[in-house]
Amino acid sequence: MVDPRMPSDPVVPSYAEGGSLARRLAAELWDHLWPWSRDGFRRHKALQAAGMALGLAASTMWVIAALGHLAAGAVIGAWFGWSVFEVLVRLGAKPYVKEGPWWGRRYRRAGPMDMLCYVGFKNLLIGASLFLLLKAAGMVVV
């Protein structure tokens, strides 16, 4: 039976149940930063591996940017490319998003649009903060 009180079926990620607040926050932070899951790996090995490679590339890009060798366009382009890939990876590995208040514990299955909104918004925040940080430090040129 469908529960119409949620926009999609409820999902409970393992960390969402029980545990202290600090533990849950740490797990949630990890969840935002690490798109892969063991379960997802078992199911889509090739995709996950390619994703890992891309993740590494995106991280390296930020390091290179931090060393002052990248122009703004390249940083934005690479981050955008990675974000598209992250949507695909998460849809396979962690296909859920939070429902309701950010401090709550309700999660639901994510459709492609939900995931796009989640990754888009999250990466916009991460990207903008890192970008501004690098810009303030004079490491990236606009």
The CA–CA distances, whole Å, from 52 to 3, 57, 67 equal 35, 9, 23
Which of 45, 49, 68, 133 binds other proteins (CB under 8 A)? It is: 68
> Which among 13, 9, 36, 35 is positioned nearest to 119, based on CA atoms?
35
Q: If binding is defined by CB under 8 A, does position 74 make contact with other proteins?
A: no
Q: If binding is defined by CB under 8 A, does position 128 make contact with other proteins?
A: yes
Instruction: Give the binding range for other proteins (CB under 8 A) out of 48-56, 58-66, 88-96, 132-140.
Output: 132-140
Residue 85 or 131: the one with the smaller Cβ distance to other proteins is 131
Q: Where are the beta strands (DSSP E) in 1-142?
A: 10-11, 96-98, 107-109
Q: If binding is defined by CB under 8 A, does position 78 make contact with other proteins?
A: no
